[in-house]
Structure formats: structure tokens, C-alpha cells
Structure 1
Amino acid sequence: MRAPDFWWREEPAPVARLLAPIGAVYGALAARRMGRAGVAAPCPVVCIGNFTLGGAGKTPTALAVAGLLHDLGRRPVFLSRGYGGRLAGPVRVEPARHGAAEVGDEPLLLARAAPAIVARDRVAGAQACVAAGADIIVMDDGLQNPSLAKTLAIAVFDGAVGLGNGRVFPAGPLRAPAAAQWGRVQAALVIGDGAPGARVLAAAKARGLPGLRGRLVPDPTAAAALRGRPVLAFAGIGRPEKFFASLREIGADLRATRSFPDHHAFTAAEAGALAAEAEAKDLVLVTTEKDRMRWPAGLPVASLPVVLALDEPEALGDLLRGL
């Protein structure tokens, strides 16, 4: 789904107030579900989640966590639900054999860095991770899913929007009441700048939780190739405007943009229309690395990969070292 603009406005919106009773019911059920005890995995589980619907930078964070764990001599294996894929799993992701329609877009990115297991049943998925050689599991998403106990849960926030309007879906972007979610995490990571992110860090500090900061840094080679070029940019992520802002920051000449819902499955007709428009206007067609995983084969498209740069990587390393 495409997140409505009023979710991210802190001032009260009439539609948010109208939907608040539904959000209260949904939030109560979500909080009760989060309170259930999960099954202990055969090895430690690091969960990278977020409080809100849509993207906040979980996948780059999961990749950064796996890199730090490798440096510590650990054997991380990723565990993902495989949102958008049709395979229930558990199945080990093989990028040469699987596509986004089978396993989802994020697992294809994760599998480039370490073994990745897709499983809708998180407990069965954890067993498959261990069978794949894991001595520690890195979950991409799943904070609100209680089935598997988490050893360390890190909540990721977009610094530009934080908790949005602070209301629970559908009145706002929260997956469950913020208070219930704070009680389930051991650290907060804010990606990017903004007053909403600063307030998140203050809330974490008030609860005695470590507050980490980071930013998404574009791949320098890809950025250089797009600098000064006229582009038609499209994205199907939680907040497409974040991607468009990144293109402007690297110096791309943004001539046109197209936004799609998060995890949008591009049809051949949609992809063909975008490619034809870019060709007719002599523009470079460019998208996110995640969206490229869902792009039909055979049609040209450029992408702008990003990686997480932590302000204090040693702080995250300290959290992981004791697991």
C-alpha cells in the first residue's frame, strides 16, 4: 500500500481522528500479540525491525549488522518472511535461481552478503538457519511477530519522520502502540537527520536504551555515473521521496518521478511504459536497488545502491559482541 501523507504530519488531521477508534482496536490486538512469549531459537537472534509500516532502512541495517558480526568471527544467517514472494519456506535463497516473485526483493539483496532463509514460520526458519551454518540469526523485520524469541531487537527509524503522527494503523503508521513496542526493543537506530528522529533518540534515552545514529550513503560508482545526467526516477518503497532526495543530493538532474506502493510488483506493461517514456525523453531510467529486484528481466534500468554508515559503529559492535 502507499502510505497516506497525513500519517507523517504531526499536526492532527481530521481523517486521522476519524480513524483513531479503529486504530485503538487494532493497536490493542497488536500489543496483546506482541506480549506473547516466543520460542527460543537454537542460537542468538538479532531482530532488525521498525515501529511503523513502510521502509526505515531495515535491510541496509541488517546488512551492516551481518558485516559487524563477520568481523567478530560469527556466522550470521539472515531470516526473512520474504514479503511479496510466493514461497512459504523454509527455503534457502539462491539469487541465480530465485526471483522476487518467489522469495521477495529484500532476501535477494541479503543473500549477496550471507546465507538467507525465507520462512513464514519463523521458528521453522530459525531451524533452517542453523542447518545452513548459523551461529547467530539476523532477522530482517519481524519485531511485531512474537513466535520467535529475540535476543537483541534493534528498532530502526527514519529521522525525517520518526513516529509520524504517533497513531496506530490505519489512523497513522504505527504497527502497534509505541509504548508496547518500546518495551520490546533494546536499542534504537535513527537513520538520517530531522527533528522527529531527534525526538525518537530522546525517547530512547529516557528509557535507558542506546540511541544510535546513521545515514544511507549512495554507492560512489553508481552516484558518479548519474551525476549531472537527466533522469526519470521511480520507486516502490515506503517513502519514495527519500530516494528522489538522494538522487538530487548526488547531483542527478531529476526531470520526472513516479511513485509506487511499497514492494510493488511491476507489470510488464508498467515497466514497458516507464522504459518507453525514458527513451522518448532521452532520460536515464533509475530506481532503487530493491525495486530493481522486482523489475522485469530484459528492460534496461539503472539503480542507486546505498549502504548504512554508522556514526559510531563501535557502539553497535558492543551490543553484538556480548551475544
Structure 2
Amino acid sequence: MSKVSPNPVRPLPAGLQKVAIEELNEVPSRVESDIAALREWLQRQPHLCSCVADQFLLSFLRGSKFSLEKAKQKIDRFYSLQAVIPEIFNEHRLADDPQVLEIIRMGVILRIPLDKDDTGPAVTIIRACSYDLSKFKFQDIIRVGSMFGEIMMLEDDNASVSGYLEIMDMSGVTGANLFALQPQLLSKFSAYADEAMPTRQRGIHFINAPKAFETGFKSLLGWFPAKIKERVSVSSDPEAIFESVPKKYLPAEYGGTKGTIRDITDNMEAKLASYRSYFEESQHFGTNEKLREEPTNLGQKESHFGMDGSFRQLIID
């Protein structure tokens, strides 16, 4: 069990609290007891070593619409499925890892802050072609994305209540970029995000996609879970981003007025540094299947991962 002490949860802004009550079945007066019940269950699981901070547990309750049983299942999956993707969840997943810091500074992944009274989904821009293919593998990019995905679930109330959007900027995409995407790894991580992460995927919008990309993109879609395919849109119009994200939130490079990409990456690097101890301890979080008292409930019919935790090949359309 994690040694991290529980921390009081943040009160939600009024707008998000209304959404949480109406859409997530949140009952503010019961939140504390719901968190306590989930923590008590975790403490009785010999096979699970988990973070037990209040905000961490609350994110899983919200991600399960306050079904305690679903929250238990999702936390179990969160840790057990990480072991199936060692390319991402490994010793490089640290706040001071040089490779992680270099990827942040290149601006491959941009977390876009929203106004406090905004009740919309959190926004991340991924600049798919802004890294050196000879120096980094796609798994290195996903690793950094997974780290900020966890930071997002721990402290971004828009993400935990309203979900999140991903804007995939395909400017400059080439065949080499598509080849480097490691589609099976992308499929594994997409399934992990869908089954184990408590934040809800609300859409993936590809922008600046050249016409030549359409055929390759359709093939790539075959690797995604069906639920995620339904949330995907593709556009070659550079202004398509404004349909999903107001200009006031975007950096100058995207026609917005909220600073620059460098401002965003500087803030992200500082934010990651504040989570140094969390990611150090996360190296010890996980499951020990030898100590599991009950069979895993990752059934073949409901999971992309088999009973033994191995990834099942998806059928390409």
C-alpha cells in the first residue's frame, strides 16, 4: 500500500459541481464516506499497492459515476494493465528523466489551461510531427503523455468531471511519421485509457491532416476500440481547432492570445517537477498477481485484455 498520506479534496467550482451532481451521480455530502469506503477496500487487497490520496480515489469514483464496484474494478485495471505495457510504464517514467524533459521542451504535448468557470472538457494538443524520429520512439511520446494524463486526473477538475479532448496536429506528417506510430502499442494504450483511466475521452480531433493521410488514417483507426473510433474527426483545415477550443485559450502559434508554446512547456515542466515524489513512488505501485485472492474480472467479453493480462489482437476493419 502507498505511504502517501490522504489529502483533502478540492471543492469544485459551482458550474462543475452541478455537472458532477447531474451527470456523475455525485452527492457532495457523501463524497468523504465514499472515498473512505474505497480506501478501506484497497487496504484489504494484498495484491494491490496503490496511491490512496483522496483526490486520486475521488477521480476513480467520478470516472465510475460513483459506483463503488466499478471504481474498485477500474483501479485494479489501472495498475494491472500497466504491467502489460512495459514500453511505457518503466524506469524512465520519472519527473527528472532527461528524455522526458527533452520531449516536454520540444512542445510535442501541450496542456491547455481553461478558465476557472469553464465547465467544458480539458484540452491537450499533440503535435505529432514535432519530434526527431531518429532520436525518439513513439512509445517515448506516449510515456510523457501518460504522465500528464495522471497529473490531469489528479488536479484538473474539468478532466475528472467533464472529460478531455485531444487535438492531434498533423502538420508536416509524412509516411515516416505514420510508420513510427507503432499501431499495436497505440491500440494497447488506447484500450488502457478506455478501460483503466478514470477520465473520460470526449473526442480526438485530427487537424492539419493532408489529403494523403486519409488512407493511412483509415487503416490506423482499425487499431482503436470501437468506442474511441466514434469520437474521432479529421480535417485538413487549420482553423478546425477553433471548433473545439476557443481562441482565448490557445497560444499565439495557433492563432490564440494565451502566451506562446514556450510559455506552456515552461509551465508543464514546473508542474511535472512538483510531482517528482508521486512518480518516484509510482515506480512501486502495481499488482502482485501471486497475492490476488480472487480471480481477475477482466473478462474476454468486456476487455481488450485476456484473463492472463495479455493483449488481445483487435480485428482491423
State the TM-score bracket (shorter-chain normalisation): under 0.3
Higher fraction of helix: 2
TM-score if structure 1 supplies the norm length? 0.25
Higher fraction of strand: 1
TM-score if structure 2 supplies the norm length? 0.26
